[in-house]
């Protein structure tokens, strides 16, 4: 039986640097999907958070002369503040230094160790002191030597713990559950990489090399590999083993019931961390821990935001700061642009000009204009009181718009259920365009002048009503992407937020005869460049 709660998670952001636009995009995408489930009246739990351990955090902290904890805490605050500002509606917050998580990671390691899936072995090879990593032949230059970028390279023999990788199971699983990865074509990458991996996964780091991590419960001179730690967040903060290791009542009460949530219906990650972490290690870890094939989470893999076709990077200096953008253009403009301009799964190019262009054309000129003129005309011609217009409501132009609305609502629901907010928005904008089109073709300002013509007056009523009612539908459905604008639109339309399934309400609860609208306040002022 499926879990009663929709459980959505994201990758947890690495705290070695402040947040950038890719982090913001992923959280907004997942937020939109979670809000969509809530909008459909479905029980939902949304978890996101930060990845606080690991070598890069330790090194960055070292450079600044502060402790890794202080360093991670400082960046964690930046992520938290950003996500509050962006309206991210997460229910849980996964921070990997949290004791609730540490206990679960250690319990998992112990389980795998006890059943022989973790073993100790010595590895002998070349080691870069500067990069603090073992080097393979792949790192050798054309001359067969390790380049200067690796600094001092020494032969090293090190004992570590390894997690056995059950490749055969994974390959079988990937074939039997093709729907487990979205978009499905990404499965081929995982299969290819699975065929290629040799050996098992090293899941420990000796403390003399790195001590900023979670200690192995069976050997305190090691900490666990940061990916083993980080991946476990998806279950630790969902309440896995809570009755066993987080049983103190005041702790237990802070965690959800695992059985209600698991498996996640969307584990949203970027394409760079599918192989090997989420596509290979993660299912293998779950499998090793006794999870059944049907209990594997669904991976939703999004693309990358590039800048002028290039990868964002600190060294190029092209890292886009979402906080600065939100301050400059507003959260509404930023959320709309990020959701409208990227198809989930594909890459997109970030550009401030496009952000402004999208906002001005779709929100200021499109939706904003429709809302303003509808409320203004209703107020001027009808004292803001709506009437259906009797038989005029049966005219083709009115029916036509109603049909567009009907189709858009169903398309919108379908696209959101299939992780494609950009297409859901496109569907909603079919209403915006058709409604603005109706204003042009019916010319209400002309109808209003024909005061002695009862047919013209009925037509005016019917037009104003269908415009306002279409706006009600848009206001209800836009909530996942633009929660603030949705609330403001509903207030201007004088519509209260329905409980239960909003999609159903959108189609069912049309505005009443005599419905009184409120005064318009411009919602999407143009961004002037």
Q: Which residues sit at the interface with ligand MSP, rule CB under 6 A?
A: 11-14, 22-23, 25-26, 51, 230-231, 233, 269-270, 272-273, 304-305, 312
Q: Which residue, 14 or 262, is less far from ligand MSP as judged by CB? A: 14
Closest CA to 229 of 193, 257, 203, 263: 203
Whether the CB-CB separation of 342 and 303 falls below 8 Å is answered with: yes
Query: Which residues contact residue 450 at a Cβ distance below 8 angstroms, ignoring those fewer than 6 apart?
Result: 456, 457
How far is residue 143's CA from residue 140's CA, in Å, rounded to a whole number? 8
Sheet order of strands, 118-128 included: 133-135, 118-128, 153-163, 201-202
Q: Backbone dihedral region of 116: left (phi > 0), alpha (psi from -120 to 50 degrees) or beta?
A: left
Please tell me whether residue 439 adopts helix, strand or coil conformation: helix
Q: Which residue, 23 or 103, is less far from ligand MSP as judged by CB? A: 23
Closest contact distance (angstroms) between CB of 178 and ligand MSP is: 22
Task: Give the Cα-Cα-Cα angle 484, 264, 334 (nearest 5 degrees).
Answer: 25
Q: Is 73 exposed, middle or buried (0-12, 13-18, 19+ CB in 10 A)?
A: middle
Q: Which residue, 265 or 432, is less far from ligand MSP as judged by CB? A: 265
Beta bridge mates, 300: 182, 268
Q: Which residue is closest to ligand MSP by CB?
A: 270
> Tokens 């351990």 sit at which residue?
53
Helices (H), 418-453: 421-442, 444-449
Closest contact distance (angstroms) between CB of 314 and ligand MSP is: 12
- What six digits make up the tokens of 478? 């836009």
How far is residue 133's CA from residue 54's CA, in Å, rounded to a whole number? 13
Q: Which residue, 23 or 472, is less far from ligand MSP as judged by CB? A: 23
How far is residue 493's CA from residue 479's CA, in Å, rounded to a whole number? 15
Q: Which residue, 233 or 486, is less far from ligand MSP as judged by CB? A: 233
Query: Which residues contact residue 201 at a Cβ distance below 8 angstroms, ignoring those fewer than 6 apart?
Result: 162, 163, 165, 225, 228, 281, 284
Q: Which residue, 17 or 406, is less far from ligand MSP as judged by CB? A: 17
How far is residue 310's CA from residue 410's CA, in Å, rounded to a whole number? 37
Q: Which residue, 135 or 312, is less far from ligand MSP as judged by CB? A: 312
How far is residue 323's CA from residue 331's CA, in Å, rounded to a whole number? 9
Q: Which residue, 27 or 515, is less far from ligand MSP as judged by CB? A: 27
Whether the CB-CB separation of 41 and 500 falls below 8 Å is answered with: yes
Q: Which residue, 12 or 438, is less far from ligand MSP as judged by CB? A: 12
Closest contact distance (angstroms) between CB of 101 and ligand MSP is: 11
Q: Which residue, 186 or 388, is less far from ligand MSP as judged by CB? A: 186
Q: How far is CA 124 from CA 33, 136, 161, in A?
A: 47, 11, 14
Q: Which residue, 16 or 194, is less far from ligand MSP as judged by CB? A: 16
Closest contact distance (angstroms) between CB of 22 and ligand MSP is: 2
How far is residue 237's CA from residue 348's CA, in Å, rounded to a whole number? 32
DSSP tag of 527: P
Q: Give the other-Cβ count within 10 Å of 7's Cβ.
A: 28
Beta bridge mates, 94: 49
Q: Which residue, 33 or 490, is less far from ligand MSP as judged by CB? A: 33
């Amino acid at each position: 039986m499926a879990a009663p709660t929709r459980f959505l998670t994201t990758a947890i952001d690495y705290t070695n640097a402040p947040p950038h636009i890719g982090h913001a995009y992923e959280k907004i995408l997942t937020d939109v999907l979670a809000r969509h489930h809530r909008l459909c009246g479905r029980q939902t739990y949304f978890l996101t958070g930060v990845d606080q351990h690991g070598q890069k955090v330790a090194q960055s902290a070292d450079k600044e002369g502060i402790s890794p904890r202080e360093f991670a805490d400082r960046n964690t605050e930046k992520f938290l503040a950003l996500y509050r500002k962006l309206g991210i509606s997460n229910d849980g917050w996964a921070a990997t230094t949290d004791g609730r998580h540490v206990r679960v990671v250690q319990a998992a390691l112990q389980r795998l160790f006890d059943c022989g899936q973790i073993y100790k072995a010595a590895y002998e090879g070349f080691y870069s002191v500067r990069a603090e990593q073992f080097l393979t032949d792949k790192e050798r230059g054309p001359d067969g030597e390790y380049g200067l970028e690796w600094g001092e390279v020494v032969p090293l023999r090190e004992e570590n713990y390894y997690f056995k990788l059950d490749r055969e199971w994974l390959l079988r699983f990937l074939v039997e559950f093709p729907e487990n990865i979205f978009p499905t074509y990404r499965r081929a990458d995982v299969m290819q990489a699975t065929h290629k991996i040799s050996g098992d996964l090293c899941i420990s780091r000796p403390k003399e090399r790195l001590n900023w991590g979670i200690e192995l419960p069976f050997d305190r001179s090691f900490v666990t590999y940061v990916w083993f730690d980080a991946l476990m967040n998806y279950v630790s903060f969902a309440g896995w083993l809570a009755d066993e290791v987080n049983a103190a009542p005041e702790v237990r009460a802070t965690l959800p019931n695992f059985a209600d949530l698991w498996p996640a219906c969307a584990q949203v990650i970027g394409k760079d961390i599918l192989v090997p972490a989420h596509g290979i290690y993660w299912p293998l870890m779950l499998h090793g821990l006794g999870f059944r094939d049907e209990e594997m989470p669904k991976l939703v893999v999004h693309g990358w935001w590039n800048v002028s076709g290039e990868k964002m990077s600190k060294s190029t200096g092209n890292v886009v700061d979402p906080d600065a953008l939100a301050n400059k253009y507003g959260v509404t403009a930023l959320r709309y642009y990020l959701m409208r301009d990227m198809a989930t799964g594909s890459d997109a190019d970030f550009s401030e000009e496009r952000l402004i262009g999208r906002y001005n054309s779709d929100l200021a000129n499109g939706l904003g204009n429709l809302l303003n003129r509808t409320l203004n005309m209703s107020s001027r011609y009808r004292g803001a009181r709506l009437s259906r217009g009797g038989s005029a409501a049966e005219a083709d132009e009115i029916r036509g718009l109603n049909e567009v609305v009907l189709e858009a609502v169903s398309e919108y629901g379908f696209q959101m259920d299939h992780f494609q907010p950009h297409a859901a928005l496109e569907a909603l904008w079919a209403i915006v365009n058709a409604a603005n089109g109706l204003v042009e073709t019916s010319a209400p300002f002309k109808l209003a002048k024909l005061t002695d013509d009862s047919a013209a007056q009925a037509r005016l009523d019917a037009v104003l009503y269908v415009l306002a009612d279409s706006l009600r539908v848009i206001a209800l459905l836009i909530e996942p992407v633009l929660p603030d604008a949705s609330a403001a639109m509903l207030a201007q339309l004088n519509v209260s937020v329905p409980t239960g399934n909003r999609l159903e309400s959108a189609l069912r609860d049309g505005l009443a005869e005599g419905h009184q609208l409120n005064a318009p306040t411009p919602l999407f002022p143009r961004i002037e460049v």
